[in-house]
Structure 1
Amino acid sequence: MQFPESWLREFCNPPLTTQELADTLTMAGLEVEELQPVAPPFRRIVVGEIKEAAQHPNADRLRVCQVDVGQPELLNIVCGAPNARAGIRVPCAMVGAELPPGEDGKPFLIKVGKLRGVESHGMLCSARELKLSEDHGGLLELPADAPLGQDIREYLKLDDTLFTLKLTPNLAHCLSVYGVAREVSALTGAPLKALQFPEAAAAIDDRLPVRVSAPDLCGRFSGRVVRGVNPRAQTPQWIVDRLARCGQRSVAPLVDISNYVMFEFGRPSHIFDLDKIHGGLDVRWGRAGEQLKLLNGNTITVDEKVGVIADEREVESLAGIMGGDATAVSDDTRNVYVEAAFWWPEAVAGRSRRYNFATDAGHRFERGVDPELTVEHIERITQLIVEICGTPETALGPIDDQRVNMPAQNAVRMRVARAAKVIGMPLTQVQCADALRRLGLSVREEEGAVTVLPPSFRFDLRLEEDLIEEVARVVGYNNLPTNPPLAPITPKLRAESRRSSFAVRRELAALGYQETINFSFVEERWETELAGNAAPIRLLNPIASQLSVMRSSLLGSLLQVLKFNLDRKAGRVRVFELGRVFLRDAGVQGSDSSVEGYAQPMRVAGLAHGAADALQWGRKDKAVDFYDAKGDVEALLAPLRPTFEPATHPALHPGRCARVLLDGKAIGFVGELHPQWRQSWELPAAPVMFELELDAVLQRKVPAFRAVAKRQFVERDIAVVVAERVTHDEVMGAIAAALPGELLRSAVLFDVFRPQPPRAGESAPAGALAQGEKSLAMRLTLGSDSAALTDTEIDAAVQTVLQALAQQTGARLR
């Protein structure tokens, strides 16, 4: 909210400087976001009158003016403004005057000069040259009664400051200059100007029939007929200036009066053209399909959830938000109907956003406007209409006031001890009661507590905490003690068997991956294609039409990052993300950190594309493949040892995808992107990807002491022939089962051999591997902590391994 300081001080003028006043408001919760002078600095610019304006002898567009500035002699000034003419009064910068600073920050000094051979002793100014507005159409014309020679800053009251307040939604009672003045009076003790609303005598008995059909929409409706107005009257300059300094441009006198009272007392109102209303008015909820052309030119369609004011033929106004074009006042208006109503905040909130616009009226009504002063504010509007637009034929009708559903004011009790505990400083009951009374609240004291009956303009006072906040504001936040908080501190230690998510990030970064952060809402196509999710969780109000569902996998987000980088000629991309996915799960109970029916686990996913290594000279270039991603997963989970088994995943290549298992439990997938999705995403090569449950990745073994072996280990190499269908895990499982305990220290596959098919006409050599067979060479590391192994024990261990391989995998020694 923006307003001039001078207007505020008309209602309450505390002995504070501008900055002190701003600090007082800010420390009371009414944050002063900006202080801005009404006009930039300039001096020696006075009111002057052009007595004569003759054509310049050497220039078609210049005039030589004789200007009276209240001095004995007229000033000879050359002017090029198109409206420079005799008889008007304008700002005149005399010799020695300083105009507002330009772009270089330096003031412009007026000197005696020559323009096309004619001396000029000053300068006639436009509003733009004084930086009062952007209007540069000509000189700033002043009223004919402006006193000659008076300083223009004094005459236009330019030594003023604009206050811009950033108000929270609970401070609706401060959305007016008088409301802020009421707060200033409470905070400083300065007297508040008493308001008087003299009743205007009704000269006619004309009434407009009004029916309030929706009491849950409108609790009170007041109105008055005014006949014989002059809508072409000139809005007084003081109203125009105040509206401009509140950020509102002048439109027409009747509209300006309504806006002025809104800024003055916070009461939005509306003035109808009475002759354009058909029959009476009906205050009701809208009906499906009804249309209304608003004052801003938009035509909207209303429904049953939007309040309207309608006559016998059509909808005339959007209740509490904006009037309609059909009954708008114009230059031909002669009779008006002045309306002021109380609209329930719940009935107005959010309605204007449905139509993509916001209004000052809607902003106030959806927060709450005092329902008790509709009649008084109509009297104030009437007073201004008579003063500004009145004619000898002006006649006022009586005020028709319908109170159909007024809000009930419930008493709120505040315990003094509770207030002292919450605020954090000792307080007495006298202090609390005094603070609340200064805010204009009705206070009843009892033992250890005070009870407040909130006034009609305080919609925010409903709980004990609301009163505690008011006490803290009046006492002053800057007066609160700065004692450090005292509380028992219990460190929340993470179990040694778990690592932090930051450790996972650091490990992936060490593997060459870069972290990305993506939206949790994604395209529906990603869920269908990459996650196989035919029924994703839909958003009720997506930020973009394509981001309409919640993700159940991180792979689509990483593919989008890859595509973005490849489109910008990135050659090698390695990215990862730690993020939450969203799954339907009827077993999830609702709590502070969960939503009933929806699981939200954390996952970690990575993607690699391009060369396996960054540009270097030591090794030949090699594209990243499945085994690079598998190795990264093993490094990420180390020292835990995962196992892998063939699997299928909607996003991954059917023959190049594996399920990751940890202690026999599936924790994720690793594999190469499916060729179909590689083609649809237009990728030059298929990336390799993995996605794991974060909880499993955070697990780690607690380090345990183990003595260094005292005896040298023994290594034996064996090569066995197995069928092509036999997997590496089956072979390693058979070896581990054959030598339980500490004897087998490790078994490592170091060679795989497959025979080449014989050429045409040749036969396979004796003892050669048949088609469908492969040779696996493994190194066994054997050792014992109790004694050195003998050759007999070593040979027996090898034979045991060979027998187990033969029995479980059908292997034979090569």
Structure 2
Amino acid sequence: MQFPESWLREFCNPPLSTEQLAETLTMAGLEVEELKPVAPPFINIVVGEIVEAVQHPNADRLRVCQVDVGQASMLTVVCGAPNARVGIRVPCALVGAELPPGEDGKPFLIKVGKLRGVESQGMLCSARELKLSEDHGGLLELAIDAPLGQDIREHLQLDDTLFTLKLTPNLAHCLSVYGVAREVAALTGAPLKTPFIPEAAVGISDKLAVKVSAPELCGRFSGRIVRNVNPQASTPSWMVDRLARCGQRSVTALVDISNYVMFELGRPSHIFDLDKIHGGLDVRWGKPGEMLKLLNGNTVTVDEKVGVIADENQVESLAGIMGGDATAVSDETKHVYVEAAFWWPKAIAGRSRRYNFSTDAGHRFERGVDAGQTVEHIERITQLIMAICGTPDMVCGPIDDLQVNLPKAAPVTLRVARAAKVIGMPLTQAQCLDALQRLGLDVVIGDGTLTVTPPSYRFDLQIEEDLIEEVVRMVGYNQLPETPPLAPITARIRPEAERSPFAVRRALASLGYQETINFSFVEERWEHELAGNPNPIKLLNPIASQMSVMRSSLLGSLLQVLKFNLDRKAPRVNVFELGRVFLRDPQSQNTDTTVAGFNQPMRVAGLSYGSRSPLHWSQSDKAADFFDIKGDVEALLAPLKAVFAPATHPAMHPGRCASVSVAGQSIGFVGELHPQWRQGYELAQAPLLFELELDAVLQRQVPIFKPVSKLQPVERDIAVIVQESVTHAALMAAIYGANTQGLLKGATLFDVYRPQQANASMQLGEKSLAIRLVLSSDLATLTDEAIEAAVQAVLASLQRQLQVRLRA
């Protein structure tokens, strides 16, 4: 929120400098994000009036002006502005004046000079030259009664500062200049000047028929008819300036009045052209298919979740967000209907985002606006309409105030002892009472307690913690003592059999992967396609339509990163992510780390695309394949032994996908992207993927000391013929399952032979496997008999389990 300091000080003027005032607001929770001067520094520029303007004798586009600046003699100024004419008052830079610095950072000094042979004794200025705006269409025209010779900074009140506040959602009562002034008065003790709003004289009994059909949308709707207004009246310069310093441009007088009261008192309102309303108004939820052209020119389609104000023929306004073009005031408007309402915040929140725009009205109503001041604010609007757009025939109708569902203020009790404990400093009941009373709250004193019934503008005060926050804001966050913690701090010691997630990150980085961090909410399509999840966890209020569900797999996020990099011509992409996934789990209960009904495990996933290694003269540019990423998974899990088995996964190629198991427990999958999704993502080659349970990856074996055998091991090679269907895993299981009396220390498959055609020893569909056995004993040197017995035990196990035969 932005506003000028001078406007704030009209309501409350504490004896503080600008910087001190900003510090006071910030330390009370109203963060001052920026302090900006209204105008840059310049001097010796005064109000002047053009009393004569004649054509320059030597230039078609220049005029020689005689300018009265309140001195004994006129100044001759040569000017090329198209609007330089007799009778207007404009800023005049005298000789010796310094204009705002240019791009070089140096001020522009005005001197006596000659333009095409005519001496110029100053310069007439535009708003752009004074850096008051970007308007460069001509001279800045001032009010006709501007005092001649008055310093322009004084006349336009340019020695002012713009405050920009960054407010949290619970401080919606500060979304107005008066609301901020109310806080300043409470913080500093300076008197608060409450604006006097007289009741307008009622000259007619006309009322507009209004019906509130949705009390859960609108709790209060107030309005009045004002007839015979002058819509073409000019907005006074003081109002235009204040609106501009709040970041709002001037539109028309009636619209400006509505915006001015919104910034002044915090209530958005709307002024309808009465003659364009057909019958009465109905405040209701929209109906599917209804169309509305808004004031910003957009045409939107509403539904039953969006509130509207409609007449007998059509929808006229988006409730609490923006008015419609059909009933907008114009230069032909004669009679108006002034509306001020209380809209329930939950009925407004998020509605404007559905149409990809935001408004000041929606910003305020979705946070909460005072439900108790609609009538007073209509009186204030009426007062300004009469002063600015008044005509001799203007008359006002009575205010029609429909109160259908007002919020009920519930008392909130503050325990002083509890407040002292939460804030972390000793507090007395008198201190808490003083803080709450300075805020203008009615307080009932009890035994160690204070009970507050919040006023209508403090709709954020609902629980005890809200009152504790108000107390500490009034005391000042900078007054909190620096108290060291008293509780003993015990570091969480990680078990020796578990490594940290950072160690996993370092391991993957050493394998050539780069870490990515992605949102946990993803496209629903990813869940259906890549995770095979037909019922993902949906968000009630997603930040974007393409981020509407919680992910149950990390693979979609990695594919998005891949596509982003490929679109920018990256030749190789190797990325990984450690992140949380979200699964439905009826067994989960509410604890300090879990949520009932949902399981939120951590996983680690990786993706490899392109060549296996960067381009180098000593290495081939071989593309990464299944065995490369399988090797990465094995390296990541080492020293744990991973077991891979054929499997299926919704995101992976049905013939190039394997499950990963450790110690008999499945922990994830590794494989190539499914051809269907590769085609959908328009990928030139298939990326390789893996996704593992992080808890399993963190486990590691604690090293156990074993003495190194002093006896030499023995190696024996065997070659067996097996069916093609026999896997390496089955082969090793049979070998290690043999009863070798503990002599077998290792086995390695070092050769595979498949015949091109059947022969005497092998048939098609068979293969020959050569295995090297390592035998050793820690007790004695092996004898030939012990070695042969161990080899025969291995062969017997292979024959029994896999029906192998020894190759001749």
AA partner of residue 72 (structure 1): A
- The whole-number CA distance in structure 1 between the counterparts of 2:397 and 2:610 is 84
Q: Deviations over 1:121-145 (max 9, x none)?
A: 1001111111111111111111221
Pairing of 1:115-154 with structure 2 (within 5 A):
115-154=115-154
- The whole-number CA distance in structure 2 between the counterparts of 1:217 and 1:553 is 39
* Kept in 2: contact 1:293–1:325 (CA 8 A): yes
Q: Which moved more, 1:474-483 or 1:685-694?
A: 685-694
Question: Which residue in the other structure is 2:3 paired with?
Answer: 3
- The whole-number CA distance in structure 2 between the counterparts of 1:246 and 1:785 is 87
AA partner of residue 576 (structure 1): F
Q: Deviations over 1:553-591 (max 9, x none)?
A: 545555555566566665555443334445555555566
Pairing of 1:280-429 with structure 2 (within 5 A):
280-429=280-429
Match of 1:805 among 795, 798, 801: 798
Pairing of 1:363-762 with structure 2 (within 5 A):
363-518=363-518, 520=520, 552-555=552-555, 557-558=557-558, 561=561, 572-583=572-583, 585-589=585-589, 593-594=593-594, 599-612=599-612, 614-615=614-615, 624-649=624-649, 652=652, 656-672=656-672, 688-740=688-740, 742-757=742-757
- The whole-number CA distance in structure 2 between the counterparts of 1:496 and 1:39 is 65
* Kept in 2: contact 1:49–1:88 (CA 8 A): yes
- The whole-number CA distance in structure 2 between the counterparts of 1:198 and 1:304 is 40
The Cα shift of 1:38 comes to 0.9
Change in 2 beyond 3 A, CA 1:330/1:443: same
* Kept in 2: contact 1:35–1:164 (CA 8 A): yes
- The whole-number CA distance in structure 2 between the counterparts of 1:304 and 1:663 is 55
AA partner of residue 437 (structure 1): Q
Change in 2 beyond 3 A, CA 1:572/1:403: closer
Change in 2 beyond 3 A, CA 1:618/1:448: same
Change in 2 beyond 3 A, CA 1:183/1:701: same
Question: Which residue in the other structure is 1:42 paired with?
Answer: 42
AA partner of residue 711 (structure 2): R
The Cα shift of 1:525 comes to 6.6
Q: Deviations over 1:434-466 (max 9, x none)?
A: 111111111111221111121111101111111
The Cα shift of 1:168 comes to 1.4
- The whole-number CA distance in structure 2 between the counterparts of 1:37 and 1:408 is 43
Please state whether the residue corresponding to 1:734 is helix, strand or coil.
helix
Q: Deviations over 1:742-780 (max 9, x none)?
A: 32111222233344548xxxxx6xx75554443333222
Q: Which moved more, 1:290-299 or 1:417-426?
A: 290-299
- The whole-number CA distance in structure 2 between the counterparts of 1:392 and 1:541 is 52
Change in 2 beyond 3 A, CA 1:89/1:733: closer
Question: Which residue in the other structure is 1:785 paired with?
Answer: 778
- The whole-number CA distance in structure 1 between the counterparts of 2:217 and 2:677 is 54
- 5+ unaligned residues in a row in structure 1: which ranges? 759-763
Pairing of 1:155-194 with structure 2 (within 5 A):
155-194=155-194
* Kept in 1: contact 2:29–2:473 (CA 8 A): yes
Please state whether the residue corresponding to 2:180 is helix, strand or coil.
helix
- The whole-number CA distance in structure 2 between the counterparts of 1:770 and 1:99 is 100
The Cα shift of 1:45 comes to 0.4
Please state whether the residue corresponding to 1:90 is helix, strand or coil.
strand
AA partner of residue 631 (structure 1): G
Change in 2 beyond 3 A, CA 1:218/1:73: same
- The whole-number CA distance in structure 1 between the counterparts of 2:96 and 2:465 is 60
Change in 2 beyond 3 A, CA 1:115/1:689: same
* Kept in 1: contact 2:223–2:337 (CA 8 A): yes
Q: Deviations over 1:121-179 (max 9, x none)?
A: 10011111111111111111112211111111111111111111111111121111111
Q: Which moved more, 1:256-265 or 1:577-586?
A: 577-586
- The whole-number CA distance in structure 2 between the counterparts of 1:60 and 1:775 is 103
- The structure with the larger Rg is 1
- The whole-number CA distance in structure 2 between the counterparts of 1:127 and 1:196 is 34
* Kept in 2: contact 1:231–1:334 (CA 8 A): yes
* Kept in 1: contact 2:207–2:225 (CA 8 A): yes
* Kept in 2: contact 1:47–1:150 (CA 8 A): yes
- The whole-number CA distance in structure 2 between the counterparts of 1:351 and 1:31 is 27
Q: Deviations over 1:88-120 (max 9, x none)?
A: 211100110001111111110001111111111
Please state whether the residue corresponding to 2:3 is helix, strand or coil.
strand
Change in 2 beyond 3 A, CA 1:693/1:217: closer
- The whole-number CA distance in structure 1 between the counterparts of 2:133 and 2:165 is 22
Pairing of 1:262-277 with structure 2 (within 5 A):
262-277=262-277
Question: Which residue in the other structure is 1:761 paired with?
Answer: none
- The whole-number CA distance in structure 2 between the counterparts of 1:811 and 1:3 is 92
The Cα shift of 1:386 comes to 2.1
Question: Which residue in the other structure is 2:64 paired with?
Answer: 64
The Cα shift of 1:689 comes to 4.2
The Cα shift of 1:56 comes to 0.6
* Kept in 2: contact 1:45–1:91 (CA 8 A): yes
The Cα shift of 1:605 comes to 3.4
TM value normalised by structure 1: 0.91
Change in 2 beyond 3 A, CA 1:741/1:495: farther
Please state whether the residue corresponding to 2:169 is helix, strand or coil.
coil
- The whole-number CA distance in structure 2 between the counterparts of 1:441 and 1:3 is 26
* Kept in 2: contact 1:802–1:813 (CA 8 A): no
Change in 2 beyond 3 A, CA 1:384/1:662: closer
AA partner of residue 788 (structure 1): T
- The whole-number CA distance in structure 1 between the counterparts of 2:245 and 2:92 is 23
- The whole-number CA distance in structure 1 between the counterparts of 2:670 and 2:211 is 70
The Cα shift of 1:417 comes to 0.5
- The whole-number CA distance in structure 1 between the counterparts of 2:359 and 2:313 is 26
Pairing of 1:201-280 with structure 2 (within 5 A):
201-280=201-280
Question: Which residue in the other structure is 2:32 paired with?
Answer: 32
- The whole-number CA distance in structure 2 between the counterparts of 1:398 and 1:325 is 26
AA partner of residue 771 (structure 2): M
Q: Deviations over 1:402-453 (max 9, x none)?
A: 4333322221110111111111111111111011111111111122111112
- The whole-number CA distance in structure 1 between the counterparts of 2:217 and 2:679 is 57
The Cα shift of 1:620 comes to 6.5
What percentage of aligned pairs have identical amino acids? 75
The Cα shift of 1:519 comes to 5.1
Change in 2 beyond 3 A, CA 1:526/1:317: closer
* Kept in 2: contact 1:667–1:696 (CA 8 A): yes
Change in 2 beyond 3 A, CA 1:579/1:129: same
* CA-atom RMSD in angstroms: 3.0
Question: Which residue in the other structure is 1:98 paired with?
Answer: 98
Q: Deviations over 1:199-258 (max 9, x none)?
A: 333333333343444433333333333333222222221111111111122222222222
- The whole-number CA distance in structure 2 between the counterparts of 1:629 and 1:30 is 53
